[in-house]
Amino acid sequence: MMADPIPYVTYTRDEAISLFAPHTMLREEAGGQWVILSEVVLCFTTMDAAPGTAYFPNASSFHWVDGLRDPETPSDIPNIPPEVDRGYKPAPQVWLFARPDTTESYTCLGNLGPCRGGTAKRGDLAWRLFELRPPLSTDIYADLINPHDELGKRNIKTAVGTWGIATCASDAEL
């Protein structure tokens, strides 16, 4: 029996895929950002400050940005696997692995819920919004949205501690 990856544990890309070894790899899409297995889908994303990359608008949501546009695809349609698009039946389990652009290892962040809403577009970029379960811890959230900004990380952690921002999971919930 296959064990689920452990949230907030780091894995190399190959280690993460090998956790699902009993499942057959069907294909990769979007330059390897999506790995589609027979019953599970894995999303690998790199977080950085550059425009046109995936990001977390809050600790319980993930915006996947299609930064590898197919020139044959209209610019408002992201290159997203049908298995993770809204309404796909049966909906597979989708695991999210992310890393700052400064490391090679990915941190398992949990499961992505079904795609919420349609495509959003800004300029030449298209993206989809997913629910993230469980919400990110304050430390992980701060590290991923501000990978190069120590002051920004401290400010987020202070704001969550002071105002109890509900979008972050507390350490007690994890």
Range of the domain at 47: 10-173
Residue-level pLDDT at 166: 43
User: What domain count does the chain have?
Assistant: 1
Whether this model's pTM surpasses 0.75:
yes
Is residue 1 a part of any domain in this protein? no
Is residue 82 a part of any domain in this protein? yes
Residue-level pLDDT at 162: 47
* CATH code of residue 39: 2.30.280
Residue-level pLDDT at 68: 55
Instruction: List alpha helices for the chain, DSSP H.
Output: 13-18, 138-145, 150-163
Residue-level pLDDT at 96: 95
Q: Phi first, then psi: what are they for 146, rounded to 5°?
A: -135, 60
Residue-level pLDDT at 124: 60
Residue-level pLDDT at 110: 93
Residue-level pLDDT at 160: 52
Beta-strand ranges (E) seen in 8-167 are: 10-11, 25-29, 34-37, 40-47, 55-58, 61-65, 93-100, 106-122, 125-133
Is residue 2 a part of any domain in this protein? no
Residue-level pLDDT at 129: 85
Residue-level pLDDT at 136: 84
Residues across the chain: 174
Residue-level pLDDT at 21: 76
| pLDDT per residue of the chain (174 residues) written in tens, 0 to 9 | 466 888 889 999 999 999 987 778 788 888 888 999 988 999 999 887 666 778 888 888 888 887 655 556 555 555 678 888 766 667 788 999 998 888 899 999 999 987 765 555 555 666 788 888 888 887 777 777 655 555 554 555 555 554 444 444 444 343
Residue-level pLDDT at 163: 44
Nearest to 43 by CA among 58, 27, 59, 32: 32
